[in-house]
Amino acid sequence: MSKPRVIIVGGGAAGFFAAIACAEANPEAEVLMYELTANLLAKVRVSGGGRCNVTHACFEPRDLVKRYPRGGRELLGAFSRWQPRDTIAWFAARGVELKTEDDGRMFPITDDSATIVECLTRSAGSARVQVRTSCGVKEVERMGEGTGFAVTLTNGETVTCDRLLIATGGGKMAGGLALALKLGHTIEPPVPSLFTFHIDDARLKDLAGLSVENAGVSVTSLKLREQGPLLITHWGMSGPAILRLSAWGARALQGVDYKFTLTVNWLGGRPLETVRNELAAARTANPRKQVVNWNPFALPQRFWERLVAAAGVAPTAVWTSVSNQLLAAIAGQIAAGEYVVAGKSMNKEEFVTCGGVRLGEVDFKTMQSRVCPGLFFAGEVLDIDGITGGFNFQAAWTTGWLAGKAMAGGSA
Ligand SMILES: Cc1cc2nc3c(=O)[nH]c(=O)nc-3n(C[C@H](O)[C@H](O)[C@H](O)COP(=O)(O)OP(=O)(O)OC[C@H]3O[C@@H](n4cnc5c(N)ncnc54)[C@H](O)[C@@H]3O)c2cc1C
């Protein structure tokens, strides 16, 4: 076996997985990892509200790729080589059991992200990966055709290597993206994904914490549409439906400076006309009941009161007094309520970056650059991002493992 020297830039999920895969596949390889901050695996530690949503119980690559607004097409082949089943087995082989929640998200049975952090750091130690913290990579230079790289560290030292992995995560144009750019790569501009919406609207006031099981949300002007649980927050709206919409629309919503009209169907996909007919039936069946007190839908009572008030129903009005016009207005509030979004906030549970190294410039069999031989990429530094549910870590494990295996082999 050859004895390549491999440098890993970034001590996050992707960097660790790559370093371990490389060092385990080729014990002769010298694997050096540099982490800019004092903390290794910082995002793993805070992830999933401190529980770490490691992956998702979705084992069919064709289904899995549908959870990636960016990168799905490229990940299809990669997932046929390393998918959630492999992640589960990898952790199990190291004594870490994962469990599946009802919605498919997978967590360590300890419900503690420290279990994952410890497993990764222990595995890196056993594989003799040399880890250095508080020491980042500042600059990189190619030393000529096929002869490796000269890497300048933030402490001024220069180290050479045969293979270089950039696994610096998402975020601003600094860090790994600047290194990739310098080595000839194109960068898709980074913008946030997985954010919540700022909405200042009387209908939502003081209802923070209230959730609706299945809401349909859309931005007609941008042709965006999603469905799922929706949570009313102190500042507007959050929950899976909103986060998914923000992920699929990450670039388009940035294009309108996060100011747009959101249409909400509080009954999922139920058409406006059906809702209107159901309201008419409620009017016939309960003519003497007060509208505010007789809610024909499975909507939280307090919210129903807000919606009928917004439609223009008087507080004491009884059903028989509701005109067809008013009925249509209530139906509109329920099935096609419009809300003015004034901005975004980051989701505290999980947020990722849309954008990064252009995917067409990377060979997804090995994660090697097509532009600069010897250079590899893994994780969120690539223009890959998933919706919430463990998909972002899965992309980091898959691309990290593929890169690690590839860097271990061949002649250096
Ligand atoms: C609060 C939060 C919770 C999340 N929860 C989940 C979850 O439960 N499940 C899920 O699937 N996803 C989750 N995510 C997303 C997930 O954390 C990321 O997609 C994932 O961490 C990406 O891994 P990475 O290794 O590519 O990047 P990172 O984890 O960001 O690691 C990159 C590392 O590189 C270092 N670095 C940067 N520049 C340099 C440099 N020049 N030199 C050396 N080092 C450098 C950084 O300091 C960092 O440690 C969450 C994200 C956040 C912010």
Q: What is the pLDDT of residues 198-245, one digit of tens each?
A: 999 999 999 999 999 999 999 999 999 999 999 999 999 999 999 999
Q: How far is the CA of 399 from the centre of ligand 1 (A)?
A: 14
Nearest-atom number in ligand 1 for the CA of 55 is 11
Q: How far is the CA of 318 from the centre of ligand 1 (A)?
A: 55
C-alpha atoms less than 13 angstroms from C-alpha of 234 in its C-beta half-sphere:
2
Distance CA 259, CA 199 (A): 10
Collapsing DSSP to helix, strand or coil, 74 comes out as: helix
Residues 6+ apart with CB under 8 A from 380: 14, 169, 170, 352, 353, 356, 392, 395, 396
Distance CA 88, CA 223 (A): 37
Q: Is 396 in the pocket of ligand 1 (CB under 6 A)?
A: yes
Q: What is the pLDDT of residue 410?
A: 63
* Residue of 178, 168, 197 lying closest to 353 (CA atoms): 168
Domain map (residue ranges) of the chain: 5-191+349-408, 195-346
**Contact (CB, 8 A) for 104 and 389:** yes
* Residue of 180, 192, 165 lying closest to 11 (CA atoms): 165
- Residue by residue, pLDDT tens for the chain (412 residues) are 578 999 999 999 999 999 999 999 999 999 999 999 999 999 999 999 999 999 999 999 999 999 999 999 999 999 999 999 999 999 999 999 999 999 999 999 999 999 999 999 999 999 999 999 999 999 999 997 777 999 999 999 999 999 999 999 987 656 899 999 999 999 999 999 999 999 999 999 999 999 999 999 999 999 999 999 999 999 999 999 999 999 999 999 999 999 999 999 999 989 999 999 999 999 999 999 999 999 999 899 999 999 999 999 999 999 999 999 999 999 999 999 999 999 998 777 668 999 999 999 999 999 999 999 999 999 999 999 999 999 999 999 999 999 999 999 864 4
Q: Is 395 in the pocket of ligand 1 (CB under 6 A)?
A: no
* Residue of 406, 203, 171, 404 lying closest to 304 (CA atoms): 203
Nearest-atom number in ligand 1 for the CA of 380 is 26
Query: What would the two tokens of residue 333 be?
Result: 């509030």
Q: What is the pLDDT of residue 175?
A: 84
Q: How far is the CA of 386 from the centre of ligand 1 (A)?
A: 13
Distance CA 246, CA 258 (A): 10
**Contact (CB, 8 A) for 68 and 78:** no
Nearest-atom number in ligand 1 for the CA of 400 is 25
What is the pTM (predicted TM-score) of this model? 0.94
Q: Is 52 in the pocket of ligand 1 (CB under 6 A)?
A: yes
Q: What is the pLDDT of residue 230?
A: 97
Distance CA 392, CA 385 (A): 6
Q: What is the pLDDT of residue 351?
A: 85
Q: What is the DSSP string of 256-313?
A: TTT-EEEEEETTTT--HHHHHHHHHHHHHH-TTSBTTT---SSS-HHHHHHHHHHHT-
Q: What is the pLDDT of residue 174?
A: 63
Distance CA 284, CA 280 (A): 6
Residue nearest to atom 31 of ligand 1 (CA): 12
Q: How far is the CA of 325 from the centre of ligand 1 (A)?
A: 52
Nearest-atom number in ligand 1 for the CA of 53 is 8
Q: What is the pLDDT of residue 412?
A: 46
Per-residue pLDDT of 38-86, as tens digits, reads 999 999 999 999 999 999 999 999 999 999 999 999 999 999 999 999 9
Per-residue pLDDT of 151-161, as tens digits, reads 999 999 999 99
Task: Give domain 5-191+349-408's CATH architecture.
Answer: 3-Layer(bba) Sandwich (3.50)
Element (H, E) at 218: strand 211-219
- For the chain, the residue count is 412
